[in-house]
């Protein structure tokens, strides 16, 4: 009898988890990490994700990528739940990530905090870190993930405050 009630409780918990909507603040944080700017800042999301949305909870890392040729939106998708939304990004007056920096212009300075994007087939992971050297757009520089004392990574400068590594 005990085993049967335990199985029923486990089934009820699984059903409750499946019905639990996605915490939209997780999406807001993921977009801020991806863009390197918070909501309302140039380069960041124009507005928080609409709180009226009821998305299924995502049991896998969110997949974020730029959408549109001028990168004015971020596509956020959950591969396990099957949903996809688009978050408008504010390019800002006089720049933001949409502006074309001059060739050779330093976008990331040594010691600066950066968002490190690691992109692979169907996923994007974001981690905070710091630049170990200066770099212009398209240049490969050394970065150190937050919490790592000695190990450095090589990442390409994408825009101010953001570097990336594309996996095969």
- Which pLDDT belongs to residue 85? 93
Pairing mode, strands 83-88 and 73-78: antiparallel
- Which pLDDT belongs to residue 13? 40
Give the pTM.
0.50
Distance CA 33, CA 116 (A): 9
Q: What is the location of CATH 2.30.30.760 in the chain?
A: 110-164
Give the DSSP letter string of 101-156. Answer: PPTT-EEE-TT-EEEEEEEETTEEEEEEEEESS-EETT-EEEEEETT-SS--EEEE
Just give the CATH number of 110-164: 2.30.30.760
Give the DSSP letter string of 29-82. Answer: HHHHHHHTS-TTSTTSBSSPPPTT--PBPPSS--EEEEETTTT-EEEEEETTTT
Instruction: Give ∠ CA 103-143-36 in degrees, rounded to 5.
Output: 70
Distance CA 50, CA 29 (A): 14
Structural tokens at position 97: 């990530």
- Which pLDDT belongs to residue 162? 86
Distance CA 26, CA 49 (A): 10
- Which pLDDT belongs to residue 102? 54
Tokens 């502006």: give the residue.
99
- Which pLDDT belongs to residue 115? 86
The per-residue pLDDT string of the chain (168 residues; one tens digit each, 9 = 90 and over) reads 443 443 444 444 444 445 688 999 999 999 988 888 889 888 889 999 999 999 999 988 888 888 876 778 889 999 899 999 999 998 754 344 444 455 567 889 999 888 888 888 777 788 888 999 999 888 899 999 887 666 888 998 888 888 988 887
Distance CA 75, CA 86 (A): 5
Distance CA 43, CA 89 (A): 6
Tokens 């990168």: give the residue.
71
Structural tokens at position 165: 């590594």
């Amino acid at each position: 009898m005990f085993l049967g009630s335990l199985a029923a409780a486990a089934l009820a918990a699984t059903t409750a988890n499946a019905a639990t909507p996605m915490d939209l603040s997780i999406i807001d944080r993921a977009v801020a990490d991806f863009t390197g700017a918070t909501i309302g800042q140039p380069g960041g999301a124009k507005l928080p994700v609409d709180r009226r949305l009821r998305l299924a909870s995502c049991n896998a890392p969110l997949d974020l990528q730029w959408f549109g040729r001028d990168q004015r939106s971020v596509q956020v998708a959950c591969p396990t739940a099957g949903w996809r939304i688009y978050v408008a990004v504010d390019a800002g007056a006089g720049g933001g990530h949409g502006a074309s920096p001059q060739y050779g212009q330093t976008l990331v300075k040594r010691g600066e905090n950066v968002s490190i994007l690691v992109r692979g087939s169907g996923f994007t992971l974001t981690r905070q870190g710091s630049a170990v050297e200066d770099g212009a757009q398209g240049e490969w520089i050394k970065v150190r993930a937050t919490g790592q004392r000695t190990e450095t990574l090589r990442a390409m400068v994408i825009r101010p405050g953001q570097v990336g590594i594309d996996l095969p």
